[in-house]
A and B are shown apart, each in its own frame.
Chain A
């Protein structure tokens, strides 16, 4: 199992901050320029990078990330090219930042679970998030990932009953990704009132860090969550900023959210 993720969370904690897990879509608007976005997010203070690999049928994603997937696919971003052309470049420019891939199970299955884990690990990926792979279906992939030292990061939802949430947390690798809203990825003006209780419950059960994600787009929300989570994931807001105003906008948004994450 990778210690890199744990160390990144510990470094943020030692500075008195929650960790920022920053998501962008590899290949949006094209492969080289998406590398600039990832590097800019780290300059802005991102502690962990989540590299999105596009899938044609992204059922867990809202309109912003759906549109980014379509652009990335048009630009020729597929898992193989992301591993060969994007990940090594990001690694070179951000050597201290742990890299995680987020994609859909079919994309990994098409390459082969073992082959993916091996290739990704060699190029510097430490964890993978597959939003359409619930625990019941994950045994095979997780075993393959474990053998290669790749964390399969589990998700926990607002609809997950407490006992199931505890089981997911106890068993987790890397960190637990707590989905804040019942819904798809995207910015929200409000988060559910019981989110903090759920985060507390998952955190008590987990031996790895716990982050909240989906719907977080600004420093205010980050500030309210950092008392209950080890960090936050920001996706759609960064994807939109990078697409409309370029890497600099993504850097500024990261810096702003980092302010909110100060304890």
Chain B
């Protein structure tokens, strides 16, 4: 029982740091997931639902005007914003809710930051007929009103969490506390590639459909793999999903973009890969924003989905070993990128995704012509319109007023 490196490690990171009450449930989940993986029927069902309901494969769109305006690499957009519910989160919730049903669980709980994971979980629960409760930081309930409505419309109960920073990390604490109390019949759908083993693996596997499609689509379009893929990093699920299938392809640059909030020097950011130190948060050992006493610091980002002081253990490992490059974008840079993408490509990206765009410009320029850069469009910006429009909309382009 006392092995030094437990299962579910990515180098030094990962593991299962949870109350003993939850360990048997995590062992049960690990076993159920291993069995489901061996069962082709399960894989086929996930694939079928992704095709029929989610709308996969999502397209890979050439971004002609951004390519032209940036003057560097050819830019492509992997359109997770076109997946049903408007973000990559649905890839994971369909898989996990099907797994929960296989395990005979009676109810579903989830945490959510931006609300996209909550909506995706509520959607999968509606589709498969399971009751759903979503824990959401009270601050996020305020700034993501549209998604709160969507969850309620889909029949889920939204539970605002008032403790701590009233954001994603507190929602996750509360979901874990509730799970400890109801672990026998409740399945906890974690929304990012974080948390205790086996979640980082399960979420990564379900999200890897993004990277597998990128591979097939670039091979079809270019006859070769892309030169770089860039994705925003909150907990890391859209990033690991897009990047994981390319880890062995060392010629493909893998790039993650974190929230620099008000700036890396300001102390108000969500850049745990860049400035975090090793620690344990929400059941896994990873890089976290903490003070010298091991108290977790509050993160800050204009985008609720990146407002998290931790990061999934596999991304921490990829960053520390140098396989993934880490860049950052501030709130202001993300906002500027939002309008740039809206006005050059006709797409309103999520604020999370806008961070990836903000960092992609210089990457595309560095890469230069003849190279191909894929930007993972993790989600659409509808949920963020209140936050963005509150800061005023820049005047129309090319029209006399």
Chain A interface residues toward B at CB < 8 A: 54-62, 66, 70, 73, 78-80, 104-111, 131-140, 142, 154-161, 164, 167-168, 171, 179, 182-184
Contacts and interface: CB of A to CB of B under 8 A. Distances in A.
B183 to A, nearest CB: 6
Contact of B177 (A111, A134, A167, A184): A184
Across the A-B interface, the 7 shortest Cβ-Cβ residue pairs: A110-B294, A78-B293, A157-B21, A183-B181, A107-B294, A157-B20, A139-B2
A132 B4 contact: no
Contacts of B104: none
B164 A179 contact: no
B377 to A, nearest CB: 31
B280 A161 contact: no
B24 A137 contact: no
B295 A78 contact: yes
B296 A182 contact: no
Q: Which of B1, B19, B163 has the most CB of A within 10 A?
A: B19
Interface in B13-29: 15-25
Nearest to A154: B20
Contact of B184 (A55, A179, A182): A182
Determine the interface band of chain B, counting residues with CB < 8 A from chain A: 35 or more
A54 B22 CA distance: 21
B18 A73 contact: no
Interface of B: 1-4, 6-7, 15-25, 163-164, 169-170, 173, 176-177, 180-184, 278-283, 288, 290, 292-296
Given A134-B16, A159-B24, A183-B21, A106 B294 contact: yes
A155 B282 CA distance: 18
Given A138-B2, A171-B1, 11 more contacts: A111-B293, A132-B19, A133-B17, A134-B19, A134-B20, A136-B3, A136-B7, A136-B16, A137-B16, A155-B19, A184-B181
A111 B176 contact: no
Given A80-B293, A110-B292, A155 B20 contact: yes
Given A138-B2, A139-B2, A132 B293 contact: no
B23 A142 contact: no
Contact of B164 (A56, A60, A62, A104): A56
Nearest to B174: A59
Contacts of A54: 295
A52 B392 CA distance: 48
Q: Which of A57, A80, A105 has the most CB of B within 10 A?
A: A57
19 contacts: A56-B296, A57-B170, A59-B18, A59-B176, A62-B177, A66-B163, A105-B17, A106-B294, A107-B293, A108-B294, A134-B18, A137-B17, A139-B4, A155-B20, A157-B21, A171-B1, A182-B183, A183-B180, A184-B180
Contacts of B1: 135-136, 164, 167-168, 171
